Amino acid sequence: MDIFKPSEAMERLPEQFFAKLTKRVIQLKKEGRDIINLGQGNPDRPTPESIVRKLEEAAKKPANHGYINFRGLPEFKQAAADYYRREHQVELDPEKEIAVLFGAKAGLVEISQCFLNPGDTVLLPDPGYPDYMSGTALSAARNVFMPLREESGFRPDYSKLDKESLKAARLMFLNYPNNPTAGIATPAFFEDTVKVARENGIGVVHDFAYGAIGYDGEKPVSYLETEGAKDVGVEIFTLSKSYNMAGWRVGFAAGNEKVIEQINKLQDHMYVSLFGAVQEAAAEALTGDQSEVRELVAMYERRRDVFIRTLASFGYPAVLPKGTFFCWVPVPDGFTSEGFSEYAIEQAGVVTAPGNGFGSEGEGYVRVGLLADEKVLREAAERLGRLYTRLKP
C-alpha cells in the first residue's frame, strides 16, 4: 500500500519545462562543454543599487521582523497605483484594486484556484507560458488553446475560435509583450478583447510581465488602458523583469475589485505576509528614479539588434522582437523544434528553448533569451548562422 500516493491534482501537474532545461544545462557544464545558455528567462543584470539599499534599510526595522498586514503594506499598494497612473494613465484604488503577489507566477496559478471548477473551460495562448497550465491543471479545468501565429502578429484571432468554447469559457489568459513569441498587443486588439469578454462572460487575465520592455520607441500597451478593461479582468505585473528582481518574488495584480478580493482571500489562507522590507524595496523601485529601467530597455534593444543582424548576415531569417528579452527563431527546414535545439547544443554549444515546449503552435521555432552581453550574443548568433549555412540545400 502506497501511504503517500500523490493527490489527483498533483498527478495532473505537467512536467516543469524549465526545470528539465536547467538540468540539461547543468549536466553539459559538468561535462566541460563550451556552452552558451540562451534557453532560460533569468535576467543577467543585478538589481539597481537604490533598491538594494532600500531593502537593507528596511530590513533593519523591527516592525518588518514580525507578521505584518496580511494584504500588504499600504505604501507598496499606493506605489503600484502611482506607477499605473504615471506610466499608463490608469487610476486604481490601492486598497480595492491591487493585490500584493508572492511573484507574478504565484498569482497566475492562484487565479485559476479562485475561479475555475473541475471541467470549466479556460482559454490559453498557444504558444504560451507553461505555468498557466499549472494553475488550470490544479483546478482540473478544460484547456482550449488560442493559436498565436506570425501572420496575425502572434495575437489570437477571436473570429476563428470555436463559438461554443467562447461561450463556455470562464477565464482567458493573455500575455503581451509575449513570451515566447515577442509579439505585442495593440489598443485595437485589447478593445476587441474587452468586447469578446463582455459578450461571452469571460474573465480576462493579462500577464504584463514584460510591461516595460518595448523597442523602437514603442511603449507596451497595458490592458488596463482599455475602456471597460477593469469590468472584465485584471493585469498581473511583476518587478522581476523591469527591475531585475526575479529572485525577490514580488509582484501585484491590478484591476477588477471582485477578482482582487478573491486573490486576497486565497492568500489569507495560504500565507501570512510578504516580508515588509521586500515590499518597501518594491515601492522604491516603482516610485524612484526610472532611468535604470530606460537604460535596461536600451541595453536589450542593442542586444536584439546584434543578435538579429548577425543571424541575418548568414541569411538566417528570424522574427524581429518588438518587446520582451526573447527572440523567436524559426528552425531550419527538416528539423523539429526539439531536434534543432538538440542539434544546436551538440554542434554549436548553444542552448535554446524548443518552441513546442510552449505549445503545439510553437513547433518550428526555438526561443532565444537575450540574457548575455553583446559579445556572447554575437558569438552565439555566429555559431547558429554557421549551422544554418551548413544545413541550407
Does residue 96 share a domain with residue 70? Answer: yes
CATH of residue 145's domain is 3.40.640.10
Does residue 305 share a domain with residue 198? Answer: no
Single out the residue in 287, 308, 328 at which a domain terminates: 287
Q: Is the Cβ–Cβ distance between 116 and 126 less than 8 Å?
A: no
**pLDDT greater than 90 at residue 16:** no
Single out the residue in 287, 322, 352 at which a domain terminates: 287
* Percent of the chain residues topping a pLDDT of 90: 84
Single out the residue in 252, 287, 322 at which a domain terminates: 287
Does residue 306 share a domain with residue 278? Answer: no
> If pLDDT is split at 50, 70 and 90, which confidence band does 17 have?
low
Q: Count Cβ atoms below 10 Å from residue 113 Cβ, excluding itself.
A: 16
Q: Is the pTM of this model over 0.85?
A: yes
CA distances from 291 to 48, 161, 243, 285 (A): 10, 42, 11, 11
Does residue 227 share a domain with residue 180? Answer: yes
Does residue 249 share a domain with residue 316? Answer: no
3 in any annotated domain: no
| Total domains in the fold of the chain | 2
> If pLDDT is split at 50, 70 and 90, which confidence band does 161 have?
very high
Does residue 131 share a domain with residue 78? Answer: yes
350 in any annotated domain: yes
**pLDDT greater than 80 at residue 21:** no
14 in any annotated domain: yes
Q: Count Cβ atoms below 10 Å from residue 343 Cβ, excluding itself.
A: 17
Listed in order, strand segments (DSSP E) in 217-347 are 233-238, 251-255, 326-330
Does residue 112 share a domain with residue 20? Answer: no
Does residue 257 share a domain with residue 147? Answer: yes
pLDDT average, residue stretch 191-219: 97
pLDDT average, residue stretch 124-131: 95
pLDDT in tens, 215-239: 999 999 999 999 999 999 999 999 9
The whole-number pLDDT of residue 1 equals 66
- DSSP class of residue 16 equals -
Q: At what angle do helices 337-348 and 374-391 cross, to 10 degrees?
A: 110
pLDDT in tens, 235-269: 999 999 999 999 999 999 999 999 999 999 999 98
Domain of residue 234 covers 49-287
Does residue 337 share a domain with residue 272? Answer: no
Q: Is the Cβ–Cβ distance between 136 and 114 less than 8 Å?
A: no
Q: At what angle do helices 49-59 and 276-287 cross, to 10 degrees?
A: 150
Q: Is the Cβ–Cβ distance between 187 and 221 less than 8 Å?
A: yes
Does residue 205 share a domain with residue 131? Answer: yes
Does residue 113 share a domain with residue 28? Answer: no
Q: For 61-92, give the DSSP string.
A: -GGGSS---TT--HHHHHHHHHHHHHHH----
Q: Give the residue from 69, 43, 77 showing the smallest Cα distance to 252.
A: 77
2 in any annotated domain: no
**pLDDT greater than 70 at residue 393:** no
**pLDDT greater than 90 at residue 284:** yes
